[in-house]
Amino acid sequence: MTTETWNAARVADTLLSCERGRTPRTSIAAEWPGLDLHTAYIAQDIALADRRSNGEVVTGVKLGLTSRAKQQQMGVDEPSVAWLTDAMVLPAGLPVPADRLIHPRAEPEIAFVMGRRLAGPGVTAATALAAVDVILGAIEIIDSRYSGFKFTLADAVADNNSSGVYVTGGIARRAADVDLPLEACLLEIDGHVVDSATGSAVLGNPAEA
């Protein structure tokens, strides 16, 4: 395969086909050095347009690289961005739909439900929180289209940041009532705590993301 056969539209189509066929593949960037971040976001937008043409409705934004250490490792200074749609919503209480995912993994999240439109430039953590209606706990079930979750940053962005499905909790809190940096997460397996973290792992304060 020559590099000339690749472009953003083909990247989008390839990854959507992998997703819909539950067929993982190797890194596209390894085959096509032209897949930089700019091109990856173009591919992501093309894939989103395809989802919307099939009736999906955008429900939110998902962020990756929200750890400062991870950003430095990847050579970027801001989170990566991808899209959530209504087709990715998993109602609470239902099992993970393994029959539509390749190799799902669970990640705890802090979800912000917006009360009004937020637009830059000049957005700060304070102005971002002022636009938030309520905050929810959430779990995202990520699902990369790359074998073994082996990919570059551009690969991941083109793949909509490894989107799968997500479930939100039923308890909502106003931003003023939550200490976001100290908000804790405990991972339990069969009643035993095996890991923990706080919101400070997200750029010191999730509102910064």
Answer left, alpha or beta for residue 135, where phi above 0 means left and psi between -120 and 50 means alpha: beta
Going by pLDDT thresholds of 50, 70 and 90, the confidence category of residue 4 is: low
Residue 154 above 80 pLDDT?
yes
In sequence order, the 6+-apart residues with CB closer than 8 A to the CB of 107 are 139, 140, 141, 142
User: What residues does each domain of the chain span?
Assistant: 3-57+87-203
Is omega for the bond preceding 121 within 30 degrees of 0, making it cis?
yes
To which H or E segment does residue 132 belong?
Answer: strand 132-142
What does the mean pLDDT of the chain come to?
Answer: 93
Q: Look at the pTM and tell me if it is higher than 0.85.
A: yes
pLDDT per residue over 36-83, tens digit each?
999 999 999 999 999 999 999 999 999 988 888 778 877 888 889 999
Please say whether the structural domain 3-57+87-203 has been given the CATH code 3.90.850.10. Answer: yes
Cα–Cα distances in angstroms (integers) from residue 38 to residues 129, 134, 157, in the given order? 28, 32, 10
